[in-house]
Structure formats: C-alpha cells, structure tokens
Amino acid sequence: MKILAIETSCDETAAAVVKEGREVLSSVVASQVKEHVIYGGVVPEIASRRHTEAIVPVVDQALSAAGTDLHDIDAVAVTHAPGLIGSLLVGVNYAKGLAFAANLPLIPVHHLRSHIAANYIAHKELTPPFLCLVASGGHSHIIEVADYTKMQTIGRTRDDAAGEVFDKVARTLGLDYPGGVHLDAAAKGGDPVAFTFARPKMPGYDMSFSGIKTAAINYIHNFKQRGEPVPVADMAAIFREAVVDILTSTLSRAAFERGHKTIVLAGGVSANSRLREKMAEICTDAGWRLYMPPLELCGDNAAMVGAQAYYEYLSGVRAGLDLNAKATLPID
C-alpha cells in the first residue's frame, strides 16, 4: 500500500510517499527557517502564505521522486491537528481536493502520533507497547502507546513546552532562530554546574518549564543591567541541563512505576544532544531498550505522517470532505 502524505502543521511544507507504513519512497521538505529567522520565531500569517505557494510543487516533487503518480497511490493522508490553524488549513484543504479528484480515501493524522511513528521508519523492529516522550516546540507529553492507534497521555507540561522554553531563552541570549539548535550547540562549551535552577515539583507525571524559563531570563537580564558580559555558554549549558533533567527524571520515574522496559523519544527536542545522551545512560543502567529517531526524522516531515497513516488506515480511520483542521486535539 502506497500513501501520499502531507504535513503543514507549522512552518515546513512537506510531502512523502510511504509504502506499507515503514518504507519511505520519497520525502520532500520545504523549510521556511530563513524567512522566519529575522523575526526570531514563526510568524503564523507568513507561514500559511508560504504553504499555499509551496504545497503544489512539493507534492509533485514527492510523487516524482517516488517514481509514481496518483494512479499508483492508494490513499492520501494529512496532518489535521494540532498546530497553527492557518498552516493546517492549507494542507487539509489541498489533501481533501486531491483525494476527491483522484477518488482516493482520505486519512486524517494527529501530529503527535506522527512524531511517534517516525521511529517505525527508523527502527523496523519496533512495535508497541512502549512508553514515549514526545517533546517539541509546542508539546511535552509522556504517552503510553498500547497499540499503533491506542495511546494514553499519562503526563504533560502544565505550561510551556520544552522546545518553547529552549527557543525563548536562546533568543534572550542573542542566539539565532531556531533557538533550540543554537542553544544546544552553545551549551557544549559551557559549564552545566556553574550554578543551578530549582526543579519544579509537579503531581503525577506532569512537568513545568515556565518557572525555570523565567529564572533564566531574569538571570540574563541581571547581567545586562549590571553591564557585565553574559556567560552565554554557561547559561546555555545550565538551562539545557535543567530542562533535560526534568524530562528524563519524569520519564524514567514513569517507566519504573508503570513497568515499561521499552522507551521511545520523539519530536523536535529529541534531537537535543544532551537529552539523547542522558536517556541512553539511564536506559543502559536500567536495562531498558531505547529508540530514538535519526536527526532527519526529529523535525516535522511527511514521512512520519505516512507511517502513522498506514496504521490509522488499517484500523478503519477515514475522513470525508467535512474534515477540518484543529489547533488543539488530544492524542487519545
């Protein structure tokens, strides 16, 4: 089965052709980073306009690179939630038109489910059940994956997402967008124990990042107010360590208490070098199996949408022409 998948949830216009859920025949991503960097973050109106311009050539390129056309495609899949509503609408409406014109089934796919499915592409042996941390610019969730389409959120951030606070502290440090990538690079030359931020205590497996974000920004401002140079590398290392510590300690506690021995990372923040390193250490010590997507599958792409769409299709998920985009939607 070949699925043409479309992803436009934020600022990447992406299309891919995926066979049987795990074989990527093509994957095309048109990034808008260079345009948004001057604003220090994604401008939703600009993002949706660029999707409108890019979606037709990106889909055409994906079909061409896969050596196929719509006659050989068995279904069209699209990210319909969650994300920037204007961006999502571009992909959803294009996918609906394409599916209708080609008389193909339309499969709606949840964005976070897609990030989890990126691991199915990279690790052919991976099958549920497992415990997954999905961390990105807009999400920080701990999810029990019982089956390919049966998932339960057991913990989540109560305020800001991990990727969001990385970006905001990076911007305060004067680092370019996307901040998380540049903060991670800057942290490699810093001292992560020069000082520390208090870790918030949350009930259950929930997390909080707003407090340490505010503490870090205030600390940086204090240096500037005193006319002193900001120790960028140290601040980056200290803040990265705090965020990673919250993520890994919460995830590992959930795994111990709920008896999970297979751990999965997903989402843009799963590309963070310290998160990958620390989770590898924890899982080795505990005897758990750890799966992480390769760096090229951590960010938004359509291959992961096609992977999840295959399992949604097998479970009977279909959408009609009344499919709408949603800015927020629970994964379960």
Token digits for 69?
């056309």
| Coil, helix or strand at residue 152 | strand
Token digits for 91?
């992909």
| Coil, helix or strand at residue 252 | helix
Give me the pLDDT at residue 195, please.
86
Whole-structure pTM value: 0.95
| Coil, helix or strand at residue 27 | strand
Token digits for 42?
């994604």
- Angle at CA of residue 264, ends 213 and 2, nearest 5°: 115
Token digits for 82?
């969650």
User: Each residue's pLDDT tens digit in the chain (332 positions)?
Assistant: 999 999 999 999 999 999 999 999 999 999 998 888 888 889 999 999 999 999 999 999 999 999 999 999 999 999 999 999 999 999 999 999 999 999 999 999 999 999 999 999 999 999 999 999 999 988 999 999 999 999 999 999 999 999 999 999 999 999 998 999 999 999 999 999 988 888 999 999 999 999 999 999 999 999 999 999 999 999 999 999 999 999 999 999 999 999 999 999 999 999 999 999 999 999 999 999 999 999 999 999 999 999 999 999 999 999 999 999 999 999 98
| Coil, helix or strand at residue 201 | coil
- Angle at CA of residue 135, ends 297 and 39, nearest 5°: 85
> What is the rounded CA–CA span in Å between residue 183 and residue 78?
32
Domains and CATH numbers, the chain: 2-117+297-314 (3.30.420.40), 128-295 (3.30.420.40)
Rg of the chain over Cα atoms, rounded to whole angstroms, equals 20
Contacts of 27-34 with C-beta under 8 Å, sequence gap 24+, read: 27/62, 27/301, 27/302, 27/303, 28/58, 28/61, 28/62, 28/65, 28/302, 29/58, 29/299, 29/300, 29/301, 29/302, 30/54, 30/57, 30/58, 33/177, 33/178
> How far lies 134's CA from each of 23, 57, 245, 256, in Å?
22, 30, 15, 18
* Full strand arrangement of the beta sheet holding 130-135: 150-156, 140-147, 130-135, 262-266, 289-291
> What is the rounded CA–CA span in Å between residue 123 and residue 289?
12
Dihedrals phi, psi of 213, to nearest 5 degrees: -65, -50
Give me the pLDDT at residue 38, please.
83
Give me the pLDDT at residue 311, please.
98
